[in-house]
């Protein structure tokens, strides 16, 4: 790493330490954390900002790309921008007048379901009007040269698509066919419930407010394939979805699974948005323009772990940190991110021990024995699915939980394992006091959210379909399905109607209020300039008695400030 990049890294670490300072505090702060928090939403890039990006020459863009690269920490927010945002030093004078007008126009009553839907309709109308104007002027859309152009320099060479490719594959007289690979068996089978929730939401759309194509309704039809979280099976199913099922778009779950297929999906020019994994590699609009991320990047989460430690464990520094790492591409993203942070901050982390485990292992006893012998001050679970529950249970049974708490240390579970019913409740008292950097996602069973109108809407729909609302992973299907549905609706109203190219253009331009994400966290894309949909998080500690994640401090949002990530499979990092 060059000296210049190291200084940039140190800047972001300092900035994140300021973020983490908002998360710690005394008992009074803690008591207020479970309620509403005061937050600030970072303004979206203005049209002028987009124009400036578009006008950059190739040399300038290449220089910026080089400066933005931070090895394994790629896919996290840009250092100087984070420092300004966290310190509250955003220059309000730079906000365009139309952006301020947008904020006034978008004031809707989010305390009612009607208000949520009214805001969604208004935002869609605004997006359709803006995109239509740019398409009709020739600025956006597929040009005579066969290049699809979008915001902030976003481009796809449609000439490279397969000879038999069609812009409307998957759209029949009655359906819009969407393929989904997921794990409905094996150690990560709980995540398969997300697919049922997603399907439940699409069924509601079909019955109540269908997507219109050419003036007639089309049913959103999910074609679900259980790959059991086995990448080789994902490859087979993606081939089947493309060649036999003729799907319009594809959604995959799992980092190793998606890494195994996203090259092909992009080569086939098939929309692949809102993938169910936070691997930073999905923030790569240049090399993988058809693929986008939904949740917060694991790289950002890794940095936030370190920043929290610096700010909240000052009396213990430097600390020994042990990580339980799922031995695959998913765990590697976490491991590399935190490892680089630790190496750059030896005043905070004296030793870092990653202990890997087989994703299919039925127990974690051996791994926990190794970690216990290391005598860490901090334990970070960097795993997913059932191993998240096992990690909490075995930390309690082995004595690791008691040892760390006796030192005044901390235990973290990852954002992908926030589900109360699936991962926290079964662990009983052993789950009490665990921390999470949750990426802004709301748990539909958490008492602090359960009375919100959209959450009530979700749980009512699930119950009506015979799906237990107590299983919050069903509701996560709405978290993924909501932006998917909004992008489909926008694309269907653009010139030419619903097509794959219009859909990906709508996705790369999307700017919505997401009712399943905490207020204060912006959810949007902006072409090549902003490839991460969620770039913010809350800091929460689990209360086993109340079965709730107490939010401690303010929600942090660094929207539009994460560097793109061209993932290098051989080197294992962003380039």
Distance CA 339, CA 60 (A): 31
Average pLDDT over residues 118-127: 96
20 pLDDT higher than 70: no
Please, are residues 377 and 319 in contact by the beta-carbon 8 Å criterion?
yes
Distance CA 51, CA 64 (A): 16
The lowest-confidence range among 75-84, 275-284, 432-441 is 75-84
51 pLDDT higher than 90: no
Note the pLDDT tens digit of each residue in 369-388: 999 999 999 999 999 988 99
Note the pLDDT tens digit of each residue in 414-469: 999 998 988 999 999 999 999 999 999 999 999 999 999 999 999 999 999 999 99
Q: Give the pLDDT band (50/70/90) at residue 106.
A: low
DSSP class of residue 318? S
Q: Give the pLDDT band (50/70/90) at residue 66.
A: very low
DSSP class of residue 378? E
Note the pLDDT tens digit of each residue in 521-565: 999 999 999 999 999 899 999 999 999 999 998 888 888 888 899
Distance CA 556, CA 62 (A): 30
Note the pLDDT tens digit of each residue in 170-199: 999 999 999 999 999 988 899 999 999 999
Q: Output the pLDDT for position 572.
A: 64
Residue of 566 and 4 predicted with greater confidence: 566
| Burial label, 114 (beta-carbon count in 10 A; 0-12, 13-18, 19+) | exposed
Q: Give the pLDDT band (50/70/90) at residue 36.
A: very low
Residue of 88 and 266 predicted with greater confidence: 266
Residue of 99 and 257 predicted with greater confidence: 257
Percent of the chain with pLDDT over 90: 71
Q: Output the pLDDT for position 311.
A: 85
Q: Output the pLDDT for position 44.
A: 37
347 pLDDT higher than 80: yes
Residue of 72 and 497 predicted with greater confidence: 497
Please, are residues 397 and 425 in contact by the beta-carbon 8 Å criterion?
no
Q: Give CA separation, 410 vs 42, 275, 390, 414, in Å.
A: 30, 30, 17, 13
Distance CA 552, CA 23 (A): 5
Q: Output the pLDDT for position 507.
A: 98
Instruction: Give Cα 24 to chain centroid, integer Å.
Output: 24
Q: Output the pLDDT for position 557.
A: 87
> Hey, what domains does the chain have and what are their CATH numbers?
1-107+301-437+538-575 (3.40.50.2300), 108-296+446-537 (3.40.50.2300)
Average pLDDT over residues 219-247: 97
34 pLDDT higher than 60: no
SS3 state of residue 102: helix
Question: Which residue, 348, 317, 542, is CA-closest to 433?
Answer: 542
Q: Output the pLDDT for position 102.
A: 53
289 pLDDT higher than 80: yes
Q: Give the pLDDT band (50/70/90) at residue 46.
A: very low
Q: Output the pLDDT for position 40.
A: 31
Distance CA 90, CA 68 (A): 20
Q: Output the pLDDT for position 93.
A: 40
Please, are residues 405 and 312 in contact by the beta-carbon 8 Å criterion?
no
DSSP class of residue 70? -
Average pLDDT over residues 43-56: 40
The lowest-confidence range among 109-118, 299-308, 392-401, 447-456 is 299-308
Query: Pairing mode, if any, of strands 147-149 and 141-142?
Result: antiparallel
Token duo for residue 473: 């992973």
Q: Output the pLDDT for position 174.
A: 97
- The mean pLDDT value of the chain amounts to 85
Q: Could you tell me the end-to-end alpha-carbon distance of the chain, in angstroms, rounded to an integer?
A: 12
């Amino acid at each position: 790493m060059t000296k210049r990049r190291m200084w940039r890294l140190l800047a972001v670490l300092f900035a994140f330490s300021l973020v983490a300072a908002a998360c710690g505090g005394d008992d009074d702060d803690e008591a207020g954390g479970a309620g509403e928090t005061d937050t600030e939403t970072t303004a979206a890039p203005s049209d002028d900002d987009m124009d400036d990006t578009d006008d950059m020459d190739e040399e300038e863009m290449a220089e910026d790309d080089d400066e933005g690269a931070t090895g394994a920490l790629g896919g996290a927010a840009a250092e100087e921008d984070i420092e300004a945002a966290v310190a509250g030093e955003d220059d309000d004078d730079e906000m365009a007048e139309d952006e301020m007008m947008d904020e006034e126009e978008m004031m809707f009553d989010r305390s009612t379901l009607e208000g949520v839907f009214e805001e969604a309709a208004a935002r869609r109308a605004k997006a359709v009007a803006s995109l239509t104007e740019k398409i009709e002027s020739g600025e956006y859309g597929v040009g005579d040269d066969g290049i699809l152009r979008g915001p902030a320099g976003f481009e796809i060479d449609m000439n490279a698509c397969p000879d038999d490719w069609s812009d409307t594959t998957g759209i029949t007289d009655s359906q819009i066919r969407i393929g989904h690979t997921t794990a409905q068996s094996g150690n990560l089978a709980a995540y398969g419930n997300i697919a049922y929730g997603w399907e439940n939401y699409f069924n509601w759309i079909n019955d109540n407010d269908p997507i219109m194509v050419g003036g007639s309704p089309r049913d959103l039809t999910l074609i679900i394939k259980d790959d059991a979280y086995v990448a080789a099976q994902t490859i087979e199913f993606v081939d089947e979805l493309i060649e036999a099922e003729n799907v319009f778009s594809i959604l995959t779950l799992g980092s190793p699974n998606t890494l195994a297929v996203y090259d092909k999906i992009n080569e086939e020019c098939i929309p692949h948005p809102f993938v169910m994994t936070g691997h930073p590699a999905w923030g790569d609009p240049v090399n993988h323009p058809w693929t986008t991320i939904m949740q917060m990047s694991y790289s950002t989460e890794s940095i936030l772990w370190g920043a929290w430690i610096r700010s909240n464990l000052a009396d213990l520094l430097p600390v020994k940190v042990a990580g339980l790492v799922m031995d695959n591409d998913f765990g590697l993203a976490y491991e590399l991110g935190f490892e680089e942070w630790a190496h750059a901050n030896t005043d905070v982390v004296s030793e870092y021990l990653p202990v890997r485990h087989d994703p299919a292992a039925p127990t974690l006893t051996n791994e926990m024995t190794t970690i216990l012998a290391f005598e860490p001050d901090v334990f970070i679970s960097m795993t997913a699915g059932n191993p998240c529950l096992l990690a909490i249970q075995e930390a309690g049974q082995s004595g690791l939980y008691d040892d760390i708490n006796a030192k005044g240390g901390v235990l973290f579970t990852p954002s992908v394992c926030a589900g109360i019913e699936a991962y926290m409740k079964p662990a009983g008292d052993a789950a009490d006091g665990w921390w999470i950097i949750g990426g802004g996602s709301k748990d539909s069973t958490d008492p602090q959210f359960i009375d919100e109108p959209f959450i009530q809407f979700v749980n009512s729909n699930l119950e009506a379909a015979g799906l237990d609302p107590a299983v919050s992973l069903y509701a996560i299907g709405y978290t993924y399905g909501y932006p998917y549905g909004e992008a489909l609706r926008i694309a269907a109203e653009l010139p030419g109607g619903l097509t794959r190219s219009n859909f990906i253009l709508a996705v790369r331009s999307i700017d919505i209020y997401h009712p399943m994400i905490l207020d204060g966290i912006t959810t949007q894309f902006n072409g090549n300039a902003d490839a991460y949909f969620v770039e913010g998080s809350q800091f929460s500690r689990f209360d086993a008695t109340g079965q709730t994640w107490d939010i401690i401090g303010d929600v942090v949002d660094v929207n539009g400030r994460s560097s793109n990530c061209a993932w290098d499979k051989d080197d294992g990092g962003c380039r």
